[in-house]
Amino acid sequence: MLCKEIMKVIEAAYPKSAALDFDNVGLQAGRSTQEIHCIYVALDATSQVIEQAKAVGADMLITHHPLIFSPMKNVTDEDFVGRRVVDLIQSDISYYAMHTNYDVLGMAELSGRILELGEVQVLDVTSEEDGAPQGIGQVGMLKKTMTLEECCIYVKNRLKLGSVKVFGEMNKKVNRLAVSPGSGKSAIKPALNKRADVLVTGDIGHHDGLDAVEQGLAVIDAGHYGTEYIFIEDMKEFLQKKLPGLQVITAPVIHPFQIF
């Protein structure tokens, strides 16, 4: 199957038009006319991931985070991003990124489903489709009221994490939870507006966490990777269902940092 045919299948479910204005999604390197037999799926197009894709004989790499995000004035081996682009092209691997279009049309619902939220709503509405709101994250009800400490344990178990960072009183009662996978500083205000008791997200800084608590919102920082690696298996299932003739291999789940 040609790369452009695979792209057509992906974009039928996750159109590029659903991406936020600042984003860069779609084919970022390689040939749309390339014959694809094996797809490698990962969260980021790191040098290690590209080497893994080459090692398994992949013809196409699909990631959530785009390798090329800001405009590039040149593509050479003198820049760490350029080196990866050159490597992909020399290795004849077509590289495709699906970022906020997947956040809006896949990640939001998936994260809410993993946390088993009920009575869900879109957390941060960015658009409407046929009158239905679409956007980043979800907010909904937990199956039962729990303390913030119990909620931390619950989130760790549901997302299969070793640890989380918490802002808030551990005995605070929570039953309405907002989740915004990835970097969630901008999700604090929507979570407050939607009357969430706790926000599960990543990349929360010191002052952002303190300010959220001051306004009555507890925050569980489960990490950027920890809230978004769910893309990998979900995309594998999507590709295997839609394109059963192709081999799909996923990157191992390896958190990018360790806590000692």
pLDDT recorded at residue 260: 84
State yes or no: 99 annotated in a binding site: no
Based on the fold, state whether residues 134 and 66 are members of the same structural domain: no
- Host domain of residue 171: 102-227
Based on the fold, state whether residues 123 and 214 are members of the same structural domain: yes
Burial 26-60 (b: 16+ CB within 10 A, else e): bbbbbbeebebeebbbbbbbbeebbebbbeeebbb
Regions of the chain with pLDDT less than 70 = none
pLDDT recorded at residue 130: 85
Based on the fold, state whether residues 177 and 234 are members of the same structural domain: no
For the beta carbon of residue 94, count every other beta carbon within 10 angstroms: 27
DSSP string, 113-143: HHTT-EEEEEEEEEEEETTEEEEEEEEEEEE
Based on the fold, state whether residues 213 and 117 are members of the same structural domain: yes
- Helix (H) / strand (E) containing 42: strand 38-42
pLDDT recorded at residue 258: 87
Residue 26, helix vs strand vs coil: strand
State yes or no: 255 annotated in a binding site: no
Rounded Cα gap, residues 231 and 41, in angstroms: 9
Based on the fold, state whether residues 120 and 213 are members of the same structural domain: yes
Residue 28: which CATH number? 3.40.1390.30
State yes or no: 207 annotated in a binding site: no
Based on the fold, state whether residues 19 and 41 are members of the same structural domain: yes
Based on the fold, state whether residues 113 and 175 are members of the same structural domain: yes
Based on the fold, state whether residues 31 and 113 are members of the same structural domain: no
Give tens-digit pLDDT for 119-169: 999 999 999 988 899 999 999 999 999 999 999 999 999 999 999 999 999
Based on the fold, state whether residues 8 and 52 are members of the same structural domain: yes
**How many domains are there within the chain?**
2
Rounded Cα gap, residues 65 and 42, in angstroms: 9
